[in-house]
């Protein structure tokens, strides 16, 4: 941990309203803590030396996974292990990208304490769970007025999110298709070690028609692709109408379209050229994995 990281106060509000007031009081000099893994990552790199207050939200009742007819609701302080063990999450094939991402997050000690809102609000494109949630059109519910913001709009850039003074994420909402829909999703990641940040990761949500043709897709790339994850909308459009088994055409589309949509960075871990090669391969594999899950499950959802 960086020696420059020396918060002056540690607060543990008993209500959401009290928490909101504390956020207003300390403003940008406050950091929220539930699991603490995100704080550790950025404090270790000396990036939050100006923080004066740590605010612990573990006592606000924000840990839960609840299913409603058209959506899944996950409390902001829900740990990744709790999500991983949740029947409400794991029984939905269309949410497989999330379970794939949870499986990829290592080590287990991190998964046991890291929270869903922590992964999102740290706002680093190298994280896995936000990429999976983005491909599923997840939204953040904001306290105090309950407004819902698409994660694609909520994430603005490195360490930058769409919140006003006194606001905080209280819940993540993932929409669910109707039971007849032929849909699934998948997530894949390439990193240097099993517990490293992604060099490139990819999540894809796929919807098929009754003939097995792709009629809808959301494809999102993270890792070293810029200040925030990137959605490959042109590639999605090119995939429309393809047969679910046509891997050659899927690969060709990623080969031709993807370089026009993402601009990977070069750093000490990888060159931009290597990242784009990885992205093409991961994109094809992720789409095919999602399609094959629909095939293997037949018409069940």
What mean pLDDT value characterizes the chain?
A: 90
Kindly indicate the confidence band of residue 295, based on its pLDDT and cuts at 50, 70 and 90. Answer: confident
**pLDDT, position 29:** 85
- Provide the CATH topology of domain 9-56: 3.30.43
Helix (H, G, I), strand (E, B) or coil at 190: strand
Q: Which of 47-61, 132-146, 210-224 has the lowest mean pLDDT?
A: 47-61
Instruction: Write down the architecture of domain 182-296 according to CATH.
Output: 2-Layer Sandwich (3.30)
CATH code of domain 65-175: 3.30.465.10
Separation between Cα atoms, residue 238 and residue 143, nearest integer Å:
39
**Residue 159: φ, ψ to 5°:** 55, 20
Separation between Cα atoms, residue 34 and residue 27, nearest integer Å:
18
Residue 162 buriedness (CB in 10 A; 0-12 / 13-18 / 19+): middle
9 pLDDT exceeds 80? yes
43 pLDDT exceeds 80? no
- CB 179: neighbour CB atoms within 10 A? 8
Which pTM value belongs to this model?
0.91
């Amino acid at each position: 941990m960086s020696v420059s990281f020396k918060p002056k106060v540690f607060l543990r509000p008993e209500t959401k309203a009290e928490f909101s007031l504390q956020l207003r009081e300390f403003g940008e000099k406050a950091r929220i803590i539930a699991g603490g893994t995100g704080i550790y990552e950025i404090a270790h790199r000396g990036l939050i030396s100006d923080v004066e207050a740590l605010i612990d939200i573990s006592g606000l009742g924000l840990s839960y996974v609840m299913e409603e007819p058209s959506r899944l609701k996950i409390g902001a302080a829900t740990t990744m292990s709790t999500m991983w063990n949740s029947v409400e999450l794991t029984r939905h094939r269309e949410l497989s990208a999330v379970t794939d991402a949870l499986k990829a997050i290592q080590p287990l000690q991190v998964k046991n304490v890291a929270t869903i809102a922590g992964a999102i609000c740290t706002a680093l494109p190298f994280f896995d769970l936000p990429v999976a949630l983005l491909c599923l059109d997840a939204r953040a519910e904001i306290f105090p007025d309950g407004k819902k913001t698409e994660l694609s709009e909520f994430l603005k850039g490195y360490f930058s999110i769409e919140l006003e003074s006194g606001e905080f994420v209280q819940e993540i909402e993932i929409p669910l298709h109707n039971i007849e829909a032929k849909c699934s999703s998948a997530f894949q990641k390439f990193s240097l070690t099993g517990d490293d940040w992604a060099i490139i990761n990819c999540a894809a949500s796929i919807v098929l028609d009754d003939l097995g043709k792709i009629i809808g897709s959301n494809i999102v790339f993270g890792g070293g692709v810029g200040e925030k994850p990137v959605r490959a909308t042109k590639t999605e459009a090119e995939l429309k109408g393809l047969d679910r088994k046509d891997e050659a055409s899927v690969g060709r589309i990623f080969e031709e379209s993807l370089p026009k949509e993402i601009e990977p960075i070069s750093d000490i871990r990888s060159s931009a050229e290597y990242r784009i090669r990885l992205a093409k391969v991961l994109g094809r594999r992720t789409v095919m994995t999602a399609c094959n899950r629909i095939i293997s499950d037949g018409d069940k959802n």
